[in-house]
Amino acid sequence: VIAILPVAGLPEIREGDDLGALVAAATALEDGDVVVVAQKVVSKAEGRVVALADVDASQHARELAGSDRDPRELEVILRETASVVRERAPLVIAETSHGFVCASAGVDHSNAPHEATLVLLPLDPDESARRLRASIREHSNADVAVIVSDSFGRPFRQGTTDVAIGVAGLVPLRDLRGTLDRGGRELRTTQVAFADEVAAAADLVRDDKADGIPVVVVRGLTPTGDGTARELVMPRDRDLFR
């Protein structure tokens, strides 16, 4: 049996906060728990926040913004973009420096739109997960794994699902028996995106208030091994969609 447990009572996260210590203080963790932390609070703790007032929009950003969107927002998105995968103003699907392909290069509005700030992805979400894990273990004595999650859209399907953009203390891909060739030999190993499924499961306890529950514990998986969320990025030479 696997249980998905929301963590209540976290304060509003600010730059410099020790998020791991706050999580450990907010809930009783057990060995083998997977702590799923929403990217937005990780980024806020790391100061990955930009004030729109400090941004000058380029010509490209103005074109992409069209009449609906703030060109400075598109400017920030373009700065976070390694390459534009698709654009249809005011939508930009971008590959980030990490290799993730997602809307707006992962740039989000802050919860408080009147502050006019944007939240960027962590510079290295796997490193963020490792730091969080170390801090949680220090403050709770529980041997946990950590996933930093974000909501990504997908080609071909409506709606976002939460995926893992950083992991620590678990192997993100799980090998299954694959397709067999005519002689019964394995032709291709099927891999399950285990960390993405855990991130999606964690999202189920969130109500419809955005960021109401930034931290969720998934209990009962007791993962072993280690890896990075970069392993979840499809290598370009195997990607049929780029």
Residues that bind a copy of itself (CB under 8 A): 1-6, 68-70, 86, 88, 90-91, 93, 100-101, 109, 113-114, 151, 154-163, 172-177, 179-182, 184, 187, 190-194, 196-198, 200-201, 203-205, 208-210, 218, 220-221, 231-234, 239-242
Nearest to 149 by CA among 214, 99, 209: 214
Measured between alpha carbons, how far is 151 from 102 in angstroms, rounded to an integer?
A: 9
Query: Residue 24 — φ and ψ, nearest 5°?
Result: -60, -35
Nearest to 164 by CA among 152, 185, 150: 150
Which of 51/210 has CB closer to a copy of itself? 210
Which of 45/195 has CB closer to a copy of itself? 195
Nearest to 145 by CA among 167, 119, 172, 115: 167
Which of 16/235 has CB closer to a copy of itself? 235
Which of 14/154 has CB closer to a copy of itself? 154
Which of 8/141 has CB closer to a copy of itself? 8
Q: How far lies 208's CA from each of 123, 205, 211, 213, 239, in Å?
A: 28, 10, 9, 10, 34
- Smallest distance, a copy of itself to C-beta of residue 173, A: 5
Kindly report the CA angle at 62 between 60 and 65, in degrees rounded to 5? 110
